[in-house]
């Protein structure tokens, strides 16, 4: 049976799959209490992360700087020790990319730090801010959530295409384009920004529990904001960004600071 014929025949079933998925795949992010939709298993998500990380290690030069590597390993060990990720395979790699002030974490606990962010981290607490943020992405399963959202949007697109089968080609093209833009601007980008803010929140908790002063998270993001201004970045409207503007991130961290300082004080008394 051809794929389109199959979809048309079973369209009523496909139409209720998203609802079924919502009913059986709800999860809660532990530190924030936010509900999320996950349509992929932790094992599948983790395997995707492990596979992709191996590809990156083969394609991007790895830094041989002993100080940078020692710093990342030291901080990574402390942060991952307080991060509750089941079956995590923590690995922290410094990639030699001096013009890229960035970092990332793939599902399963694979963390990459680009050397371009080192002048902005400036100290061990700054590195704890970065690694705490990236580890938070993995623990909160943001990767799996993005995959799930993409699957639901794809399914919606298939259902929309089937519903428009009697429309003209021009009409179908316009509606499909509008659906694609709406899905990106109205769903994927806002969720990406919310994931970044959530990772900031959880990451600051992790660094505090690991014994790093969370006040340094605010200072790191102020340095990062100054770097962005120096580079002439920041002209894109927030609704078209994958990340929130720096001022929003700093304001949230300052608001959360009194609560997170309690975690920090507990870590010092242990």
Question: Which residue among the candidates 45, 125, 134, 196 is catalytic per the annotation?
Answer: 134
CB 116 within 8 A of CB 97: yes
User: Does the annotation mark 216 as catalytic?
Assistant: no
Q: Could you tell me if residue 58 is left (phi over 0), alpha (psi between -120 and 50 degrees) or otherwise beta?
A: alpha
Residue 134, judged by CB atoms within 10 A of its CB (0-12, 13-18, 19+), counts as buried
d(CA 212, CA 263): 10
186, 108, 96: which is closest to 142 by C-alpha?
A: 108
Determine how many CB atoms are found less than 10 A away from the CB of residue 166.
7
Helix (H/G/I), strand (E/B), else coil: 134: helix
| Partners of 184 in the β-ladder | none
d(CA 78, CA 62): 22
Beta 26-28 vs 110-114: how paired, if at all?
Answer: unpaired
CB 109 within 8 A of CB 93: no
CB 249 within 8 A of CB 197: yes
List active site positions.
134
């Amino acid at each position: 049976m051809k794929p389109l014929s199959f979809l048309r025949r079973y369209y009523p079933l496909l139409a209720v799959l998203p609802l079924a998925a919502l009913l059986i795949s709800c999860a809660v992010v532990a530190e924030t209490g936010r509900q999320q939709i996950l349509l992929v298993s932790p094992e599948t998500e983790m395997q995707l992360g492990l596979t992709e990380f191996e590809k990156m290690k083969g394609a991007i030069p790895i830094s041989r700087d002993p100080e940078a590597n020692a710093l990342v390993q030291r901080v990574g060990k402390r942060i991952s020790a307080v991060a509750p990720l089941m079956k995590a395979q923590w690995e922290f790699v410094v990639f030699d990319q001096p013009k890229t002030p960035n970092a990332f974490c793939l599902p399963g606990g694979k963390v990459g730090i680009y050397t371009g962010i080192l002048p902005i981290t400036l100290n061990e607490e700054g590195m704890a801010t970065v690694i705490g943020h990236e580890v938070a992405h993995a623990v909160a399963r943001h990767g799996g959530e993005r995959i799930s959202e993409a699957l639901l949007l794809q399914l919606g697109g298939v259902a929309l295409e089937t519903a428009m089968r009697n429309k003209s080609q021009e009409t179908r093209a316009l509606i499909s384009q509008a659906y694609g833009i709406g899905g990106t601007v109205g769903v994927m980008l806002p969720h990406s920004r919310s994931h970044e803010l959530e990772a900031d929140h959880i990451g600051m908790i992790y660094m505090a529990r690991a014994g790093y002063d969370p006040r340094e998270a605010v200072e790191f993001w102020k340095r990062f904001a100054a770097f962005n201004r120096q580079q002439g970045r920041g002209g894109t409207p927030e609704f078209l960004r994958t990340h929130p503007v720096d001022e929003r991130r700093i304001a949230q961290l300052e608001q959360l600071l009194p609560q997170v300082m309690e975690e920090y004080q507990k870590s010092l008394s242990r």
